[in-house]
Structures are given as structure tokens and as C-alpha cells.
């Protein structure tokens, strides 16, 4: 049985309204930061240096410099300098292998080794404190590296 033009228009309008409702719901749940987020670094103790494997960046008030093989230097620096986190009281479930991150913060001479669990968006401090990174802030935390073919 064929549908009339009026029935097809009704189906299209209902499907469009449902799609708008679903997309609005998804946007509402993912775009906004949780209420308990706080910056990991502040103006008193800014992030000065970061190293992941052989990739690194060093920043001062004037400019930032990255290792030569990092392609997204400024995005990577901005992501880490503006990162916000939520503290977690108990150790969360994590299945991925952590990435060691060496940080130099503020005027503290001693570098700190943190662990980043990329898949879960988790950070573990040297004092075994746990933090979760909002999903919207995870994209640029890992540098894009220029792969050299030998």
C-alpha cells in the first residue's frame, strides 16, 4: 500500500523532530563541563615543561617550544596548560596501560611523574591521587608526531 504525500510529510516531520530532540539531549550531556571541575594548573604554579616519551614542550610567558617531531605543538601546549579535572576519592577501574608524563610545575625544580590513562581519561598524581579529565578536553593531550620513514 502506497503512502500519500500527506502521510510522508507527517513521517518526515516526526522523524526530524525526534532527531532534533536526540541531538539536543546529546549536546546537553556532553558539551558542558561538570560542576566540580577545577584547573590542574593555575597562575601561581603554571605548567613549565611536559614530556611524554621523546616528545616534550617547554613554555614561558612569551612562547612555547616543542620537540621537532611534534606537529600540533600549540594545541598540545594549550590543552595541557588549560586542562581541568575532577578529583576522584577512590581508585577508578582502568584497563589501559598508563603513559608516563613528566611535569615541571612552577618554580619547583624536582620534576613530577604522573600517569595518564588515555582511554579512560584518568590522571594519577605522584601522591596517588586520582583525577578524571572531562571528555571534551581529552582530544589534544597526546601530541601528533611526525613519523620519519628510514
pLDDT of residue 9: 94
Identify whether residues 69 and 7 lie together within a single domain.
no
- DSSP annotation of 56 reads E
At residue 64, does pLDDT exceed 60? Answer: yes
In-domain check, residue 146: no
Task: For cell 616519551, name the residue.
Answer: 53
Identify whether residues 75 and 112 lie together within a single domain.
yes
Identify whether residues 28 and 42 lie together within a single domain.
no
- DSSP annotation of 135 reads G
Query: What are 67-124's pLDDT values in tens digits?
Result: 888 888 889 999 998 899 999 988 898 888 999 999 998 888 789 999 999 889 999 9
Identify whether residues 42 and 25 lie together within a single domain.
no
In-domain check, residue 81: yes
In-domain check, residue 149: no
The residue segments making up the domain with residue 24 are: 1-32
128 band by pLDDT with thresholds 50, 70 and 90: very high
- What mean pLDDT is predicted for residues 9-31? 87
Identify whether residues 21 and 55 lie together within a single domain.
no
17 contact partners, CB below 8 Å, separation of at least 6: none
36 band by pLDDT with thresholds 50, 70 and 90: confident
State pTM to two decimals.
0.72
pLDDT of residue 27: 76
Identify whether residues 51 and 1 lie together within a single domain.
no
Closest CA to 39 of 100, 105, 110: 105
In-domain check, residue 150: no
Identify whether residues 10 and 64 lie together within a single domain.
no
Q: CA–CA separation, 130 vs 128, rounded Å? A: 6
126 band by pLDDT with thresholds 50, 70 and 90: very high
In-domain check, residue 110: yes
- What mean pLDDT is predicted for residues 17-27? 89
Q: Total structural domains in the chain?
A: 2
Identify whether residues 62 and 20 lie together within a single domain.
no
Identify whether residues 73 and 4 lie together within a single domain.
no
Identify whether residues 130 and 73 lie together within a single domain.
yes
Amino acid at each position: 500500500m502506497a503512502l500519500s504525500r500527506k502521510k510522508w510529510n507527517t513521517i518526515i516531520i516526526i522523524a526530524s523532530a525526534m532527531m532534533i530532540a536526540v541531538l539536543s539531549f546529546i549536546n546537553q550531556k556532553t558539551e558542558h563541563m561538570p560542576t566540580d571541575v577545577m584547573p590542574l594548573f593555575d597562575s601561581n604554579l603554571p605548567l613549565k615543561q611536559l614530556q611524554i616519551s621523546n616528545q616534550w614542550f617547554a613554555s614561558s610567558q612569551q612562547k612555547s617550544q616543542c620537540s621537532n617531531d611534534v606537529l600540533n605543538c600549540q594545541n598540545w601546549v594549550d590543552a595541557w596548560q588549560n586542562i581541568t579535572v575532577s578529583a576522584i576519592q577512590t581508585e577508578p577501574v582502568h584497563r589501559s596501560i598508563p603513559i608516563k608524563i613528566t611535569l615541571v610545575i612552577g618554580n619547583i625544580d624536582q620534576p613530577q611523574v604522573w600517569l595518564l590513562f588515555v582511554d579512560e581519561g584518568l590522571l594519577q598524581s605522584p601522591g596517588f591521587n586520582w583525577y578524571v579529565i572531562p571528555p571534551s578536553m581529552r582530544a589534544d593531550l597526546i601530541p601528533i608526531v611526525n613519523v620519519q620513514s628510514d
